[in-house]
Amino acid sequence: MSIGTTCVQAGYTPGNGEPRQIPIVQSTTFKYATGAEMAKLFDLESNGYFYTRLQNPTNDMVAAKIAALEGGTAGMLTSSGQAANFYAVFNIASCGDHVVSSSSIYGGTYNLFAVTMKRMGVDFTFVSPDCTEDELEAAFRPNTKAVFGETIANPALTVLDIEKFARAAHAHGVPLIVDNTFATPVNCRPFEWGADIVTHSTTKYMDGHGVGVGGALVDSGHFDWMKYPERFPGLCTPDESYHGVTYTERFGLAGAFITKATAQLMRDFGSIQSPQNAFYLNLGLESLHVRMARHCENGAKVAAFLKADPRVAWVQYPSLEGDKYYALAQKYMPNGSCGVVSFGVKGGREAAERFMGRLKIAAIETHVADARTCTLHPASTTHRQMSDQELAAAGVSPDLVRYSCGLEDAEDLIADIDQALN
């Protein structure tokens, strides 16, 4: 199936007389005739549901659709994008381990890595997404377990050279984890370029309507954990908390990563998505391919307008000719990148805040990638915990306005920007 058909059809095929839309299994628990049957589920010896903290049928159908969209072998939903990135990294890196990450990433992810996971004993080295192969090489340590980056970084809009990062990761025998939130699998499928694990904040384009916070993880099934059993003991040696199951042996490369994340991390941390939210997420996915085209069309038109306007200091939009990341965007996402445009208004930080206050259609929100156009000043909101130096490394200047084109008509968005600039 091509991508649009997958958006509409994947994940659920009803049998004769069954509901056409995916059922919301709004139940915490599942009934069994004997304790012995349930014991098999607890031991991962048979497939089935017993408690929604671990798995729920509605969530699994939607996760299967996202896995199909990314071209992966297995997927799972989480309660948020934050949980998805935490699970993706913590599933293979724990206390005493090290991870190489692009410095140009979402502010919440940066804080998760640099502060909270560091407190848990996981060390991160941040590298510029534009680093040379030598600089990237120098960031690795003997205890490095993964490499992390964002396809299109939020809000800096840098484009990750996925092949460069995958090459370095694989040369060191570790997987590349890519947060594909902004591009979505409609515009880029990182597995096709060498990424091994993909994460999403489904809160953004996948939901697309500002309805439910959520996240997802997908495994490509390509990374050969068993080639480096001493590096990935959690996947390649018996899990005593699951009666000695060895995930790679029992579930193979296609299933080991997601089964471990479900059986251990979801069991212990419990960041499950509610089945009701998964249902809303699926409604969003059904039109993802149609909406992304419009978000990108509006993004391109708004970026072109801003670029030509003398009241604007600078514009960043990966699909805009002349953009620093234009060549990478053309390579990895030739059909369009996203609907988010970053720019600076002449007059700096103060002018940016004044301009945003004058917008009538675009609302000031801590949100992005929504049907309704929204805008944000990262330096005073999402990234306010960062020092100027950290802001610079994350590609966020103090005057940066993040403008997320919704699904309205581009003429109206441009007229609104024009009057606010005036």
Residue 153's SS3 state is coil
Closest distance of CB 239 from ligand PLP, Å: 27
305-310-313 Cα angle (round to 5): 90
Nearest to 234 by CA among 95, 362, 384, 340: 95
Stretch that binds ligand PLP, among 101-109, 125-133, 166-174, 397-405 (CB under 6 A): 101-109
Closest distance of CB 244 from ligand PLP, Å: 34
Nearer to ligand PLP, 109 or 259 (CB): 109
The number of residues that bind ligand PLP (CB under 6 A) is 17
> What's the sign of the alpha-carbon dihedral 112, 114, 116, 121?
positive
Which neighbouring-strand residues pair with 342?
Answer: 316, 402
What is the pattern of x (binds ligand PLP, CB under 6 A) and - over residues 305-344? ----------------------------------------
Give the span between the Cα atoms of 143 and 405, in whole angstroms. 42
Of 164-203, binders to ligand PLP (CB under 6 A) are 179, 181-182, 201, 203
- Which of 212-231 are b and which e, b meaning 16 or more Cβ less than 10 Å from the residue's Cβ? bbbbbbbbbbbbebeebeeb
Residue 317's SS3 state is coil
Closest distance of CB 118 from ligand PLP, Å: 18
Closest distance of CB 207 from ligand PLP, Å: 9
- Which of 63-75 are b and which e, b meaning 16 or more Cβ less than 10 Å from the residue's Cβ? bbbbbbbbbbbbb
Q: Is there binding between residue 404 and ligand PLP (CB under 6 A)? A: no
Nearer to ligand PLP, 187 or 203 (CB): 203
Contact 102, 148 (CB under 8 A): yes
Looking at 87, 90, 106, 113, which residue binds ligand PLP (CB under 6 A)?
Answer: 106
Looking at 11, 81, 318, 339, which residue binds ligand PLP (CB under 6 A)?
Answer: 81
Nearer to ligand PLP, 157 or 315 (CB): 157
- Estimate to the nearest angstrom the gap between the alpha carbon of 401 and the chain centroid: 21
| Residue 132: partners with Cβ closer than 8 Å, 6 or more residues away | none
Of 143-162, binders to ligand PLP (CB under 6 A) are 150, 154
Of 201-220, binders to ligand PLP (CB under 6 A) are 201, 203-204, 213, 215
Nearer to ligand PLP, 62 or 245 (CB): 62
Q: Which residues bind ligand PLP (CB under 6 A)?
A: 80-82, 85, 106, 108-109, 150, 154, 179, 181-182, 201, 203-204, 213, 215
